[in-house]
Amino acid sequence: MKKEIYKIQCPKHIVFGDPLYFEEFKGEKLKRLVVDYKPPQHFGACLVLLEQESEEFEDFIERSITLYLAPSTTMKTYMDGMMYKGQQVKEKQIGVDTAQYRLTVNDRSDDIRTGGDGYWGSEIELCRQVGTRKISDAVIISVVVPDGTDLEGMRQMARYFFPDMRQMDRAEKKKKRGDTAR
């Protein structure tokens, strides 16, 4: 397994889904099929590039880019795969029917050919109820990268959408060794 963690500036708007859906559907139907998310101003953001062997298919490498959006004080909890007591989880699978998905982050957009239909990502929201108000504590958006894209290709894709990304795990290792992070 290879995992790279990056600190990024929190995007103002993320859209992810089949380009056809944006043309064909509106309102609640479209909302159920795609990610169209504007994080609150107090959220921070981290990006994880993950490459791991498939548990289901022998000799297959799964690759994904996951965006964590949450306040910086609780970010590590969500990145460690944990949550807080009393939080509810709302998960939405993101599918495609035209063998491609559109990913838009702020003003940068690209249609990525997947080579097949099916589920190509997810959006998970962790929230809690305070009285009658629902408060969103974190949103985690995962995008599966098409076959044939290696780790360097994932980095290039991520740099296009997040040009300010800084690798966190590398900087932390240098600090532990006593080197200065550059």
Average pLDDT, the chain: 92
Q: Mean pLDDT over residues 17-36, rounded?
A: 97
Q: Is it the case that residue 158 has pLDDT exceeding 70?
A: yes
Of 40-54, 67-81, 161-175, the one with minimum mean pLDDT is 161-175
Q: Mean pLDDT over residues 120-138, rounded?
A: 96
Q: Is it the case that residue 182 has pLDDT exceeding 50?
A: no
pLDDT tens for each residue of 117-126: 999 999 999 9
- 114 half-sphere exposure, CB direction, 13 A CA radius: 24
pLDDT tens for each residue of 61-89: 899 999 999 999 999 999 999 999 999 99
pLDDT of res. 172:
47
Partners of 142 in beta bridges = 66, 122
Q: Is it the case that residue 173 has pLDDT exceeding 80?
A: no
pLDDT of res. 169:
64
Q: Is it the case that residue 3 has pLDDT exceeding 90?
A: yes
